[in-house]
Structure 1
């Protein structure tokens, strides 16, 4: 819609703003619409919330999400602010759709060249009861999850959900989650979860049962997201087989772990999961403190960082570069970190060409994990030859060639003067190629042929064809 000159009547102004809102909603290229919008000066006199049934209007009093539209001085500012407001309201978890229209106001403007308008938000509330069945991919395993959720329970955006999941690796869990959006702009999310989980480890030959509480506060800001999480868990560590080595059996029994973890994440890959090959940068940094002043039987400090950069080479080729590193140190000289808290490396989603957890120290063919690790991957993705299924299902498949490298240390001392050189001693290298299937832009399913170029006697390599399903790939 192209408009020349200034809006002459209130009806013209309403049509102009409503059309501008629709146009900006559909605009994805970031065009400058200033040339096609009217020069009419306007002010928003009042914002109306219609269609509320269970939701309390007082829940939105004094919220800063309305500031952009209330400060609008022309049609373009109002249209852009209205679109942002609509997306913010839909993200609150109360409404499934919000329609925005502009109507004439009964208030008189302070200046004769200014028009006063009312912004009308026609809100359609979400159903209170929701149920979903999801399929998820983990470390070379598939799991199903059933979730029952009550939304907007008390009329202020509260959520209660119960979930049950079971995987092909016989890992099962129950969870009861309570969620609430906080702060003046609804950007801060509070989540409290009660969890009971059974997590057997077949690579280390032990069983782990967890039961406890997790409280988490997260807040996104532009492309950044910071999360602070507290976890208090009762652990029951059990080794069902006598073949489990003594070094792992030492962790057997009941224990309590109390930990505080801070995560700072950045992503410029809009709407892309960790397995997607959309261009951009992903970064995640974690710091976890367990025990010490927090109490519990486990005392350690764990640091981990992950970085992935994907660049478009051409319309049919991309390159991906990943770098991960982590270190865990015991705060109790008499007791090293439990095997549950160590790092493991190797597998289809990690350094390919090795079994799950197959890179690093082992005891009786059981992965023992390590206190320090680093890994890196370089992959080149290209479209399938002749583009079968172009524009539909075929676009989810890519050919890729890769080179992975990494190292895992049972113990590592960063106080030594040559620690940088020691990080590279005994590094493992793998090259290969295969087919990458980006399943529903969520999970990565890969069929690769792997050639380990460097291994150590303690490793469990897996040369040749390797099939893997992962949420996060190197």
Structure 2
């Protein structure tokens, strides 16, 4: 269901068998102290051989891309630095449990006086691993069971099966991931999934069965994702009191869409940043590759963070989106934007802003255009005894949020659209406490004062709790 979101080098020759992961130390062994001093002072060191100890199913050709730069080292300090960087790249592949680096003088008939041999001692991950954990989404929790086959074909491929059971959503997913050798940031993935979700604000139940392919790649300082998705959607009523407007959209539909996402992220943390900026831009085009849905969807997310005195942080966010139907068929309730709740415009109930069905139930139908903005001030807890302890996980939070969600008549022109988005603005202010859960999620407990309330809006005047990974 739609939600508010802004949603080479050739391998070098190597000798020896394998790899490992973990410690940050680079060890120099079997070298006399006098010889060590000579190597350190030598400005013309040559890396002659790289060995891998501990390889099993891993193919050596993919490892050559990751360690190729060590052969360009010119002195011993450079060798240590490039070896450490190579170790980090090997760990990034996600196929080793441990990686250690050992540097030694060259041995053998072809050994040079200033030659060095580097050995990467590695421990591969098991062929199959399982996991059990809990996951926090936008104001919902899930139990997640996973099964992973890392390094499936020996070149950092990964096959993952995941089952998630949550308070509002249950899902199954099978994913295959394949990085490009030497360019781990470029990857291809294929996903099969089934997701069943409940959306009480719309009295709607939705089941999606789909397949998608993703291609991720960086360009300069930006990261891009190209995606095709084909999904069979089944919409149904969640209760007997479901409004006619929602019942009218119930049934089976097929959506086939192409989408592109661009991300620039310079923040020091994705959950509670102290500095940096984030820009996300998404485009989705449905209908040209088949299916029942035909639309163009654009949305963005912008966030700026500035650290102030006394360890306080000023943060500003802006979200926006536009859904343009193509052809005469109206947009689906499953593709529209939704706004309101503890993770967006605080002080309002979850997704309870905007167009609503007639009748007693007043189901929220979503909108084709929206914007939302927020200004936040995060400060340390008052009377904090010492810094660097458990108290650093908490922040005091002062906020001002505003936004609007509506449908547009696309024949009226841009000025009329802007005027409609500027009418009936909902806004709120308040203060509370934020708890950071590692770099995974965060919890908020705020006292909210909603303003600009319109007929049909559901408010949460007073204490409101929020949990998730993405907040306005």
Task: Flag whether TM exceeds 0.5 (same fold).
Answer: yes
Q: Do the aligned partners of residues 258 and 38 (structure 1) sit closer, same or farther apart at CA in structure 2, a change above 3 Å counting?
A: farther
Three-state SS of the structure 2 residue aligned to 1:257 is strand
Aligned position for 2:91:
90
**Which of 283, 286, 289 is residue 287 of structure 1 equivalent to?**
283
8 A Cα contact 1:323 1:374, kept in partner: yes
| Aligned residue runs from structure 1 range 58-77, under 5 A | 58-61=61-64, 63=65, 65-77=66-78
Distance in 2 of aligned mates of 1:97 and 1:14: 29
Alignment of 1:142 with 2:134, yes or no, is no
8 A Cα contact 1:361 1:459, kept in partner: no
**Which of 325, 329, 339 is residue 345 of structure 1 equivalent to?**
339
Aligned position for 1:52:
55
- Using the TM superposition, give the Cα deviation of residue 137 of structure 1 relative to its aligned residue in structure 2, in angstroms: 1.5
Distance in 2 of aligned mates of 1:16 and 1:224: 44
Aligned pair count? Answer: 437
**Which of 303, 317, 320 is residue 308 of structure 1 equivalent to?**
303
Aligned position for 1:354:
348
Q: Do the aligned partners of residues 83 and 248 (structure 1) sit closer, same or farther apart at CA in structure 2, a change above 3 Å counting?
A: same
- Using the TM superposition, give the Cα deviation of residue 454 of structure 1 relative to its aligned residue in structure 2, in angstroms: 1.1
8 A Cα contact 1:265 1:283, kept in partner: yes
Aligned position for 2:372:
375
Question: TM-score, normalized by length of structure 2?
Answer: 0.86
* Deviation larger for 296-305 or 223-232: 223-232
8 A Cα contact 1:348 1:470, kept in partner: no
Three-state SS of the structure 1 residue aligned to 2:338 is coil
**Which of 287, 292, 299 is residue 294 of structure 2 equivalent to?**
299
| Deviations 1:52-106, CA, capped at 9 Å, x for gaps | 0121223335x2x334212222233322222211111101111122112222234
Distance in 2 of aligned mates of 1:138 and 1:214: 21
- Using the TM superposition, give the Cα deviation of residue 180 of structure 1 relative to its aligned residue in structure 2, in angstroms: 1.7
8 A Cα contact 1:223 1:268, kept in partner: no
Three-state SS of the structure 1 residue aligned to 2:258 is strand
8 A Cα contact 1:384 1:398, kept in partner: yes
Q: Do the aligned partners of residues 466 and 402 (structure 1) sit closer, same or farther apart at CA in structure 2, a change above 3 Å counting?
A: same
Aligned position for 1:167:
166
| Deviations 1:119-171, CA, capped at 9 Å, x for gaps | 221122112221212222222111111111111223222222211111122x1
Q: What is the aligned-residue RMSD (CA, Å)?
A: 2.4
**Which of 218, 226, 230 is residue 228 of structure 2 equivalent to?**
230
| Deviations 1:225-253, CA, capped at 9 Å, x for gaps | 21122211111111243432232223211
| Deviations 1:265-313, CA, capped at 9 Å, x for gaps | 121124x23x323321122111111122x11111111111111111111
Alignment of 1:452 with 2:447, yes or no, is no
- Using the TM superposition, give the Cα deviation of residue 355 of structure 1 relative to its aligned residue in structure 2, in angstroms: 0.5
8 A Cα contact 1:17 1:79, kept in partner: no
Query: Which is bigger in relative contact order (C-alpha 8 A, separation at least 6)?
Result: 2
8 A Cα contact 1:383 1:399, kept in partner: yes
Question: TM-score, normalized by length of structure 1?
Answer: 0.86
Alignment of 1:320 with 2:315, yes or no, is yes
Distance in 1 of aligned mates of 2:62 and 2:392: 44
Q: Do the aligned partners of residues 268 and 416 (structure 1) sit closer, same or farther apart at CA in structure 2, a change above 3 Å counting?
A: closer
Distance in 2 of aligned mates of 1:264 and 1:77: 35
- Using the TM superposition, give the Cα deviation of residue 389 of structure 1 relative to its aligned residue in structure 2, in angstroms: 7.1
| Aligned residue runs from structure 1 range 159-308, under 5 A | 159-169=158-168, 171-220=169-218, 224-270=222-268, 272-273=269-270, 275-292=271-288, 294-308=289-303
Aligned position for 1:153:
152
8 A Cα contact 1:181 1:190, kept in partner: yes
- Using the TM superposition, give the Cα deviation of residue 39 of structure 1 relative to its aligned residue in structure 2, in angstroms: 5.6
